[in-house]
Structure 1
Amino acid sequence: MVDQKSPARADASAPTLGRRLSRRKPVEKLVAETEGGHGLRRTMGFWQLSMIGIGATLGTGIFVVLGEAVPIAGPAVILAFVLAGVTALFSALAYAEMAGMIPASGSAYSYSYATMGEFMAWVCGWCLMLTYGVSVAAVGVGWGQYINELLHLTTGLSLPGALLAGPMEGGLVNVPAAVVVLLSMFALLAGVRESTRANAVMVTIKIAVLVMFVAIAVTAVQRGNFAPFMPMGMAGVSAAGATLFFSYIGFDSASTASEEARNPQRDLPRAIMFSMIVVTAIYCLVAFSAVGALNWTEFAEGRTSLAGILTVVTGTPIWAVIFAAGAVLALASVVLVVLYSQTRILFAMSRDGLIPAAFSKVDDRGTPRANTIITSVFIALLAALIPLGPLADATAIGTLFAFALVNVAVLVLRRNRPDLTRAFRMPGAPVTPVLGVLACAYLMLSMPVSVWVAFGAWLVVGLAIYFGYSMRRSALEDEPTVRVGS
């Protein structure tokens, strides 16, 4: 790797703009980097990887965002979950194929680098920064809501509004949201082995409380609550699907652990698909039970929680207290795993020279310490100041864009490198990856203009950083480049 602080070459042999944008890293080089030893330690097996996927996915989407989606779609929120789930499934299949070939911490960013060139890799990585970073902040906000609900159920008290909302909501700062991010930071600094053990415990608890919810709520399901089934029409289902896609973000987190997996080619595809199956089954059961037990017109947008439904169904707050306590731990595990994923994306981008070298330096425990601290503090501030709704929507659109690129990467490598060994092959290709791209585009187009404006502004900032800093400091700047399509 060249010195990232060195200026760009000014001689005649410097690569042209076109070559810089299209240069890509061969698959063999990416794989060699993961095996060359950069401080990350291989300690994870199939179950640890699966727990990362489930831990990152099963969280705010079902615990909090469901309450925002029901008023949009009515009982057809079940279809909205299916729509979002099918979209995620296409991308999960694409991730499984790519992760088996390129077991790199960069995930979709690395896959794009190998197939579409550095410019698209940067755009993908920049979108993943939005996806993971903002997702952590959004989950932190949801965690604060459940902390407040648990406090109210157990003591009758509530946190002061000024300490539970940021300035955009009329408060001062969302203290619980910032606290859970910083607690996760300390867990990650303790080491990967310790944090994965903590995550496994929290994932088990969250699955248990969701099963408990279904077992109780299903006893109160009434057929009348499903009529009219689609009061807002297909437009409402599409809009809710775009919002609920946030619920499926996270299965790809397992791919960011590639360089810390003992046998990534074998275990990563299996872990990705297993986590998707478990999460989708739980989501469908919870959505059916929730809208069947409580008429959709009684869902107050963004304020009806699953714990509240249990109180209505049972007439006692006891089960709601148990559920809220489980939700607090459940959402904490999402923050932990998604924050971990964010640091690994930044690790890969730093190793490629596109962001400062500090993000790829590791300590004796194999932990990117500076990366973890810088990222956590920034996200804690974001969580403390920005409300949940805008965070969830911004996260979803960034994720959909990155997922679409992974489907494209499958198509490119199937055409250009059919000789590569694939531990998992995406069934139905090339039709399925094309459908994956179209499904992502459909949900993106279902989002409001305001979200697109925010996304466009994010991309403009990213492009300014790439052309002003990253392009000239790329690790490929002084190496022979491989252009897209060559």
Structure 2
Amino acid sequence: MVEQVGIRLRSRLVRRKPLEDLMAEPEHAGGLKRSLGLGHLTMISIGATLGTGIFVVLGEAVPVAGPAIVVSFILAGITALFSALSYAELAGMIPASGSSYSYTYATLGELIAWVCGWCLVLEYGVSVAAVAVGWGQYLNELLRLLFGFAIPDALSQPPGAGGVVNVPAVAVVVLAMVVLLGGAKESARVNAIMVAIKIGALLMFCAVAFTALRAGNLTPFFPLGLAGMSAGGAKLFFSYIGFDAASTAGEEAKNPQRDLPRAIVLSLVIITALYCLVALAAVGAMPWGRFEGAEAALSQVLSDATGGGSIWPLLLSVGAVVATSSVVLTVLYGQTRILFAMSRDGLMPGVFAKVNRKGVPASNTVLVSLFIAVLAAFVPLGSLADATSIGTLFAFGLVNLAVILLRRRNPDARRTFRVPFSPVTPLLGVGFCVYMMFSLGAITWVAFGLWMVGGLALYFGYGIRRSRLNDQAA
């Protein structure tokens, strides 16, 4: 009897969602409207990514790596590239809202799919909170430049960072929620405008900072050794989170098989080039030791480069506020679509899959936004960034494995993009993800372990009994 129960349990944990069902599901069960083209999808990925590391985390990463922060960005970008290629292949095959959660459901089974989805909840939800915290920092910088005052720490910092509650972080999450409730196409238009502004702001920063570049600021290039460069790369991987955001829009893309792979790869190329350019300009214009404790590092670089009193820091602060607003908007969008897919499969409560007349999962959007607003109000930035990185790396590793398994199990399935040199490239993707995960600190691993314990408790207490695959088995 016990043996039969064990066999039944194991069969539930490894059951896979048929690839054919995943490929057909958006056509008959989604409820979301197809309204996004290649430009929209590319801007969603750029919007979800560009700005997070440069505007928010750079000040924390430079003291870890020194001038080698430029190489750290390249290392993190290469790690992201291997996973981006895998995402591109799977997004072209499976145009569903679930991103890597849906891909692992078809390859590694329900339990691993749940773990992946739970990591995505960590990746998207916590990164929104982290960027919202950074948004408040740049808002304060803008207020200082414009009016000579800032929001008091008690109302602009979380507990543990000198404050009581982070009101600006809550405000930007609520604003993003309002925009998302207007519909996917309308949100994409707002995002496209914000992306154009923040790219312009970063190019302006480079033009000004390079005028103050000093070769002495770049030597020694590896003051903290290769270990420092690697640690910087692991911390900066947070800044690449979001390139996969286009894959969460699989059910709202007009031509997902063609446009999703293009959007993912194109956005990552643009992002990596800009990151490296801005990082080189920043450490070349200001000694790396001065980045320690800098909340708005790029504004400080411009102030030093221009001698203060210039309009350039003001323009950059405007760009930073817009940039981080765009990240909050697009990553929050991705979070709601992940939960939509998990709810439709029965692994999350049904409220997350309900869609209103506009084709928007409204209840989902409101609930997620309120949770993230609370997180942003009370948790410091550094803890949020590292926790996000480890969850993302774990999910990316699973996506690379999914490519290898689907090539073996479904070699004849239609693929609009194929990862070159498979299985070598996906295996390198797994290797880089594991390497970067072990570059993170012990406290981050403890937090990740606790998050996983909570997720598994939710799955075994709710998801395994409510799974839609139970109905198919019956």
Please report the TM-score for the alignment, with normalisation by the length of structure 2.
Answer: 0.98
The separation in 1 between residues aligned to 2:429 and 2:294, in whole angstroms, is: 29
Q: 2:163 aligns with which of 168, 171, 190?
A: 171
Residue 157 of structure 1 aligns with which residue?
149
Matches within 5 A, 1:23-172: 23-172=15-164
**8 Å contact kept, 1:162–1:173:** yes
Deviation per CA, 1:221-243: give whole Å up to 9, x if none.
11111111101101101111000
2:317 counterpart of 1:306:
no
* Offset, 1:141: 0.2
Matched, 1:343 2:336: yes
**What residue identity is the alignment partner of 1:400?**
L
Counterpart of 2:382, as a letter, is G
| 3-state SS of paired residue (2:469) | coil
Find 2:255's aligned residue among 263, 287, 309: 263
The CA distance in 1 between the partners of 2:440 and 2:47, in whole Å, is: 26
Q: 1:292 is matched by which residue type in structure 2?
A: G
- Match of residue 419, structure 2, among 404, 422, 426: 426
State which of 426, 432, 453 in structure 2 corresponds to 1:439.
432
Q: Is the 8 A contact 2:45 2:245 kept in 1?
A: yes
Corresponding residue of 1:449: 442
Q: Distance in 2 between matches of 1:114 and 1:239?
A: 34
| 8 A Cα contact 1:400 1:440, kept in partner | yes
Residue type of the alignment partner of 1:54: I
Within 5 A, what are the aligned runs for 1:367-382?
367-382=360-375
Residue identity matched to 2:248: T
Structure 2 residue aligned with 1:478: 471
* Amino acid in structure 2 at the alignment position of 1:462: G
Question: What secondary structure, in the 3-state scheme, does the structure 1 residue paired with 2:267 have?
Answer: helix
157-166 or 344-353: which moved more? 157-166
Letter in 2 for 1:116: L
Match for residue 275 of structure 1? 267
Matched residue type, 2:67:
P
Distance in 2, matches of 1:470 and 1:37, equals 20
CA distance in 2 between partners of 1:255 and 1:297 (Å): 39
Which ranges of 4 or more aligned residues in structure 1 deviate by more than 4 Å?
12-15
SS at match of 1:94: helix
| Equivalent pair of 1:54/1:275 in contact (CA under 8 Å) | yes
Separation in 2, partners of 1:336, 1:158: 24
Residue deviations 1:438-466 (CA, integer Å, cap 9, x gap)? 00000000000000000000000000000
Number of aligned residues: 470
For 1:351 and 1:179, the matched residues in 2 are separated by: 30
Q: 1:245 aligns with which of 237, 240, 246?
A: 237
Equivalent position SS for 1:403: helix
Residue type matched to 1:379 in 2?
A: I
Equivalent pair of 2:137/2:296 in contact (CA under 8 Å): no
Matched, 1:362 2:352: no
Kept in 2, the 8 Å contact 1:65–1:302? The answer is: no
Question: TM-score with structure 1 length normalisation?
Answer: 0.95
Aligned AA for 1:461?
G
CA distance in 2, matches of 1:94, 1:314: 44
Cα deviation per residue 1:125-149 (whole Å; 9 max; x = unaligned)?
Answer: 0000000000000000000000000
Q: Does residue 205 of structure 2 align to residue 222 of structure 1? A: no
SS of match in other structure, 2:470? coil
Q: In 2, are the aligned partners of 1:64 and 1:302 still within 8 Å (CA)?
A: no
Q: C-alpha separation between the residues in 2 aligned to 1:447 and 1:258?
A: 32
Equivalents in 1 of 2:123, 2:295: separation in Å?
Answer: 24
Which amino acid in the other structure matches residue 277 of structure 1? Answer: V
- Of residues 385, 404, 407, the one that matches 2:378 is 385
Return the letter of the residue paired with 2:268: M
Superposition pairs of residues 282-301 of structure 1, within 5 angstroms: 282-301=274-293
2 CA distance for matches of 1:65 and 1:38? 36
Aligned to 2:185: 193
Q: Is the 8 A contact 1:153 1:317 kept in 2?
A: no
CA distance in 2, matches of 1:193, 1:104: 17
Structure 1 stretch displaced more, 56-65 or 431-440: 56-65
Assess if the C-alpha contact under 8 Å between 1:15 and 1:477 holds in 2: no
Task: Mark the runs of 5 or more structure 1 residues left unpaired by the alignment.
Answer: 1-11, 482-486
Coordinate RMSD, CA, aligned: 1.3
1:411-452 CA-to-partner distances (Å, cap 9, x unmatched) read 001111111111000011110100000000000000000000
Q: What's the CA shift for 1:248?
A: 0.5
What code does the residue aligned with 1:311 have? Answer: S
Contact 2:173–2:328 (8 Å) recurs in 1: yes
